[in-house]
Chains A and B, each alone.
Chain A
Amino acid sequence: QLQLQESGPGLVKPSETLSLTCTVSGASISGSSYYWGWIRQPPGKGLEWIGSIYSSGSMYYNPSLKSRVTISVDTPKNQFSLKLSSVTAADTAVYYCARQLAGRPLDAIDPWGQGTLVTVSS
């Protein structure tokens, strides 16, 4: 059974870089027709797609975050990571990692990790 688990600091200072890792178990990140991505949800608000990456390195980013986001994949460790630079309080959110189906160019997201709350505060 495919499972995803986010890990990383729960508190980040303003202007610093938020870094999270997603560990995938139950399936290989390499190959198939899936991308691996990140979605976030500010407290009490809706969902925002951040971006997704294929094991080969092909990636798609939310244009509104593109200048600050880096998503990378570590196939030997079966992990992928998110870095978000120059964070502000507006980046406080629950961050989810997930698998995303490839298709024109991206499609359904399934499954999702349990999510991790990242708070931006000094």
Chain B
Amino acid sequence: QSVLTQPPSASGTPGQRVTISCSGSSSNIGSNTVNWYQQLPGTAPKLLIYSNNQRPSGVPDRFSGSKSGTSASLAISGLQSEDEADYYCAAWDDSLYNYVFGTGTKVTVL
């Protein structure tokens, strides 16, 4: 059981905006930075957002992250077919002394 909860699925049509939530607690999101990973089908995860809202070089600015209190969100604006993937949030947990991943959200482009 992950301590970071995400909705199992999200969907949208091309061009729409999709938002994925990540709910945690004071020992993880509440006190540490949140990272987001994208896992395209059959491939290894890739860092999408780090330090709550920073994009690594090469990540389109359609992807944005935010954090408030013990929750974080990933937004995909201008949804494209190549965005179909699983998305995971993650953070260090001070109580568990563990780097924890969210439950994962599958994004489908309709």
Residues of A within 8 A of B (CB): 39, 46-49, 52, 60, 62-64, 96, 100-101, 103-115
Contacts and interface: CB of A to CB of B under 8 A. Distances in A.
User: Interface majority SS on A: helix, strand, loop or mixed?
Assistant: strand
B24 interface: no
A33 B47 CA distance: 17
Contacts of B104: 46-47
A110 B55 CA distance: 12
Nearest to A47: B101
Contacts, number: 67
B35 A62 contact: no
Q: Name the interface size band of chain B.
A: 20 to 34
Contacts of A115: 44
B75 interface: no
A111 B101 CA distance: 16
A112 B92 contact: no
Given A60-B97, A104-B32, A107-B33, A96 B92 contact: no
